Chains A and B, each alone.
Chain A
């Protein structure tokens, strides 16, 4: 019946006299121009330029006379002995972070606070959102202090009675610290998403399952989880891409160290090669190649994800058409 009313309205509106304002066919594209201009000039152009530069030998020692070298930078990259380690680091960083801090933990926290204990949620949620709103420089400093060697570090202070620790946790266990620090920033995002989705599950489904004699866990596993499929896949894709490209916290916490390539992830490697003066020689061409591979991988992964998640459902046409 609603549909019928809308049809009626539409026909009515279509018949109404239109003032000579902006041509309706032009309005849409016109409204998109600012965004498109912005994106073309400051996102697409840099992408194209990065790709172009990746095929030159631009670096500190060639600034006066940059030359085209084709795929030489890529060849060089693929023959670097540290490449497997860096690829592994990236896999470790993105994988562990994604699974634990962007999927498992948020799901657990969302379930706990949205479905079980509302009041606990209201208490805890602001705290969990803190890492995301804290400036990265300050957040990194907080972690450095937390993990500092005795007698400064808070962690050491708290663990002293147990007789554990004493050194710098960041230097001794760089990976766990980096992953936890970076992970906590992303957790809040997924938690909120999952909380909203869980709360949106119609009550009737719960009651129906209960009436059928299902336990809580069975209901959760066979009824709720499948309904969360879209948010889960969205988080996996979106956060996965973000993690692939982000290196800010690694830069601020360990700068790729301590030691050789220990916490160097792909995106940080690209940054170091292109922008480090003394240890990178400002090799912009080489750095651009490293970055281009990363972006290419990300783009392909996005396309695959879009296919998988039946994107078509998201781009359904709006109901208004004729006007």
Chain B
């Protein structure tokens, strides 16, 4: 009797499982309802902050309504339904690769443009040129800011549609500058001085040191970089300083990654000076600080004098850490480009667009590519994108957005949009990930005091050459 009970229980569990195995099976292509309409489910993945960046999925959902209206007008009996997931773990890229290899990727994936190279090479995403040509004129795709198509290209084809873009400013604390003796007009003029190349990185270090020496800030709180803890290193923000000294990460013509020895040396020297020479950057920032701690400290606006972050963090601070009080941010925090490394160079900032990609049949097991593309094209409209941009403090991707009142009314976006003119993009090269990880290890070792600047330069070049066979060293 008992054994029968056990067998029944086992069967019940098995049935439950088959029902539960949601992610394991590709969603049914079509469910024919009584009548004529066929519903196609389009799955989409994006990563981001659930408070501010929900729109990455939301835009697709709203676009589905518009697409269905279009399909109806065309007399088609197909309708779409979006099943989107906003991944908050930070591991979306890895999940995507593992899923794609197993043939279970979603139809649409939203990720960094820097992922295009590896994913295209592995055959996980499809080139979009034919779809763009077909739908360009009938949608807002024609209004995408032209230079934003550059980071979407790899080996002569276009692989993604820009979804948002940003800039990464140098933030500074107004109350602390005031305490240092700066006048309101000094503070107001700082962003312009940086923009004209009159205030360099070392000027910043000097001001930070002065603030520390005079007790205006605690030691180590003069200048904060992006936080690194254990394994969450991502080099983009740091390499702004390499570019600020005239370095470049790749040669877009040949597609090969490059490293400039002199700029690399100055890049390492700058960070070494910040941590050890001037002592304005606490060692634990690069190596022992988690995001939450970092956000909490800098968003208060009166703890750290200078720090570099991203424009979208303005939204995160306002909504997540200051309870919706954006006014406090305006009172306490100022922003500017990343200053030039030395006199005679230009200020800079990194712009890191995220993009929608369409997955291949090999990766998703489905054949919804064209429908998925149409969805993306309709999601790329001025009203939808502006709403998202204002909510998350990302910058415009369409020329027509610059006339959209929703967008232009936003004070912060208006004040930061000039930065895109000075921006550079990360390489589209499948080895860039390894390049980043390798260079990052050396930087972390330098920051931990395990290498001096000369050693760091030699180590970096040697390691990079072995990690990236086609590297160009200049």
Contacts and interface: CB of A to CB of B under 8 A. Distances in A.
A48 B101 CA distance: 20
Contacts of A258: 229-230, 284, 287-288
B234 interface: yes
B121 A276 contact: no
Interface string A257-299: 1111000000000001001111111100000000000000000
Interface string B111-133: 00000001001111000000000
A258 B93 CA distance: 24
B87 to A, nearest CB: 12
A63 interface: yes
Given A61-B433, A61-B434, A254-B230, A282 B94 contact: yes
Interface string B222-260: 000000011111100000000000000000000000000
A257 B230 contact: yes
A260 B444 contact: yes
Contacts of B430: 60-61
A255 B231 contact: yes
A256 interface: yes
A171 B282 CA distance: 13
A64 interface: yes
A259 B287 contact: yes
Contact of A256 (B123, B230, B436, B445): B230
Contacts of B118: 60-61, 63
Contacts of A257: 229-231, 287-288
B342 interface: no
**Chain A binding surface, main DSSP class:** loop
Contacts of B231: 255-257, 272, 276, 279-280
A64 B360 CA distance: 13
B303 to A, nearest CB: 14
Contact of A279 (B124, B287, B440, B450): B440
Given A61-B430, A255-B230, A260 B437 contact: no
A279 B232 CA distance: 7
Interface in A46-73: 59-61, 63-64
Interface in B280-332: 284, 287-288
B446 to A, nearest CB: 10
Contacts of A259: 287-288, 444, 448
A256 B230 CA distance: 5
A260 to B, nearest CB: 5
Given A60-B97, A259-B448, A281 B122 contact: no
Contacts of B81: none
B93 A260 contact: no
B91 interface: yes
B433 A278 contact: yes
Contacts of B441: 260
Contacts of A282: 94, 97
Given A257-B288, A260-B441, A260-B448, A278 B233 contact: yes
A313 B436 CA distance: 55
A171 B288 CA distance: 6
B431 interface: yes
A60 B94 CA distance: 9
Contacts of A254: 230
Interface of A: 59-61, 63-64, 168, 171, 254-260, 272, 275-282
Given A168-B288, A260-B450, 20 more contacts: A59-B434, A60-B118, A61-B433, A63-B101, A63-B123, A63-B124, A64-B123, A254-B230, A258-B230, A260-B445, A272-B231, A277-B93, A278-B93, A278-B436, A278-B437, A279-B231, A279-B233, A279-B234, A280-B437, A281-B434
16 contacts: A61-B430, A61-B431, A63-B118, A63-B121, A64-B121, A64-B123, A255-B232, A256-B230, A258-B284, A258-B287, A259-B288, A260-B445, A272-B231, A279-B437, A279-B440, A281-B434
Give 5 closest A-B pairs by Cβ, nearest first.
A255-B230, A258-B288, A63-B122, A257-B230, A277-B94
